[in-house]
A and B are shown apart, each in its own frame.
Chain A
Amino acid sequence: MNAIWLFFLLGGIGIAAARGDVQKVTDGALKGAEMAVEVALGLIGAMALWLGIMRIAQEAGLIDLVARIARPFLIRLFPSIPSNHPALGHILMNLSANVLGLGSAATPFGMKAMQAMQELNQNRPEASEAMCTFLALNTSCITLIPATIISVRVAAGSANPTEIVGPTILATMVGMTVAVTADQLLRSYYRRRGG
């Protein structure tokens, strides 16, 4: 991560210098910093709403129920999480929200999953294996109802706005398979390296 961050910054500065337009560096940096706060503050409403709903679901035992149903499937992917741990429920809620295209709900569910996994990780600054697997699934996860892009297609006058759902599902299945496989391979590689 450090190397990539450095690459973005120095690469950008270097190219701006070569082009003789260093003002762009300052502009880009300030724009990005402002946007970061906007994004974070913009998240508060949706986060609070979904975390509130989730607390009700948790106290009603729904999260446990969901976790129990998904246990046989999740336990293979997350061998380091104890089978009765709430993290499994949060992971499943997050992935379901992703599949249903509920972006605003997926993020708070994911946060809870990360918090639960971070407790198992004993609050270290380094990601645990379970976190890596979770994020591999998360970033390659399919959305069955890609509502945003469908509405863009409708607005652009498409004759068949949903025709892209088929290839989207197939392509994402390939992507997800590769991500999960790579996660398993990299996990054992890092273990052998002692990382």
Chain B
Amino acid sequence: MPAAILDTLSQWTVPVLFAVVLAAGALRGVKVYDAFVAGAEEGFSIAVKLIPYLVAMLTAIGIFRETGAMDMVMALLHPITSSLGIPGEILPLAVMRPLSGSGALGVATELIQTYGADSFIGRLASTMQGTTDTTFFVLTIYFGAVGVRRYKYSLYTGLLADVTSFFASVYFCKIFFK
């Protein structure tokens, strides 16, 4: 797929969506300005409601990262992944991904720039960035917005999806790019 097509597509989605919604609203006789303001009003209260949940989560992650506990987890995982033929350079990304979106993007960018976008590590980092998610962050803000504090089994499914996607990324990258 040429990058130009995807680029055009991603540039057009938001304008098209706005146009469709506004046109449909106008056709149905919705007072579009009034409706917009009424909806937007909620944005502030939802965001403010998230603060205690985000403080709890990001403080814990901050301590875990800053003190070197995260590096220790990576060191523990290294022998396991290297015996499976997974490049060790990718591990920081795998461990960072569920915890911090901006952190993971930083690690991925660094890997791509250090090893080259078209190296195996560069391609694997790119693929993993698209397949896994910032699970802790997503759960914190989605549950936080409605005041749910007990996540039941949600975290396990989310992390299991991340681990599976990690291994699947390695597998498919090996098939596609080796």
- Interface residue ranges, A against B (CB under 8 Å): 1, 4-5, 8-9, 11-16, 19, 21, 24-25, 27-33, 35-37, 39-41, 43-45, 47-49, 51-62, 100-102, 105, 107-108, 110-111, 114-115, 117-118, 121, 123-127, 131-132, 135-136, 138-143, 145-150, 152-154, 156-168, 170-172, 174-176, 178-179, 182-183, 186-187, 189-190, 195
Q: How many whole Å from A152's CB to the nearest CB in chain B?
A: 5
Q: Mind listing 9 A-B residue pairs with CB under 8 Å?
A: A36-B58, A53-B21, A58-B35, A117-B146, A131-B154, A157-B116, A164-B130, A168-B131, A175-B131
Q: How many whole Å from B7's CB to the nearest CB in chain A?
A: 8
Given contacts A108-B43, A162-B2, contact A9 B63 (CB under 8 A): yes
Q: In the complex, are the beta carbons of A127 and B38 less than 8 A apart?
A: no
Given contacts A40-B50, A125-B148, contact A158 B117 (CB under 8 A): yes
- Name the B residues within 8 Å of A53 (CB-CB): 17-18, 21, 36, 39
Q: How many whole Å from B152's CB to the nearest CB in chain A?
A: 5
Ranked nearest first, the 9 interchain pairs of A and B with the lowest CB-CB distance are: A55-B39, A32-B62, A28-B66, A48-B43, A158-B117, A175-B165, A52-B40, A36-B54, A12-B63
Q: How many whole Å from B26's CB to the nearest CB in chain A?
A: 8
Q: How many whole Å from A68's CB to the nearest CB in chain B?
A: 15
B60 within 8 A of A: yes
How far is it, in angstroms, between the C-alpha of A41 and the C-alpha of B14 when the chains are bound? 22
Given contacts A135-B157, A156-B117, contact A178 B59 (CB under 8 A): no
Q: In the complex, are the beta carbons of B68 and A24 less than 8 A apart?
A: yes
Q: In the complex, are the beta carbons of A60 and B126 less than 8 A apart?
A: no
Contacting residues of chain B (93-148) with chain A, CB-CB under 8 angstroms: 105, 108-109, 112-113, 116-118, 122-123, 126-127, 129-133, 135, 138-139, 141-143, 145-148
Q: In the complex, are the beta carbons of B112 and A36 less than 8 A apart?
A: no
The answer, among A105, A136, A147, A174, for a CB contact under 8 Å with B10, is: A147
Given contacts A13-B67, A62-B21, A171-B172, contact A135 B131 (CB under 8 A): no
- Name the A residues within 8 Å of B56 (CB-CB): 5
B164 within 8 A of A: yes
- Interface residue ranges, B against A (CB under 8 Å): 1-3, 6-7, 9-10, 13-14, 17-18, 20-22, 24-25, 27-28, 30, 32, 35-44, 46-48, 50-51, 54-69, 72, 105, 108-109, 112-113, 116-118, 122-123, 126-127, 129-133, 135, 138-139, 141-143, 145-158, 160-162, 164-165, 168-169, 171-173, 175-177
Highest count of chain A CB atoms <10 Å: which of B21, B148, B157, B162: B157
Q: How many whole Å from A49's CB to the nearest CB in chain B?
A: 7
Q: In the complex, are the beta carbons of A186 and B157 less than 8 A apart?
A: yes
- Among residues of A, the one whose C-beta sits closest to the C-beta of B98 is A139
Q: In the complex, are the beta carbons of A167 and B127 less than 8 A apart?
A: yes
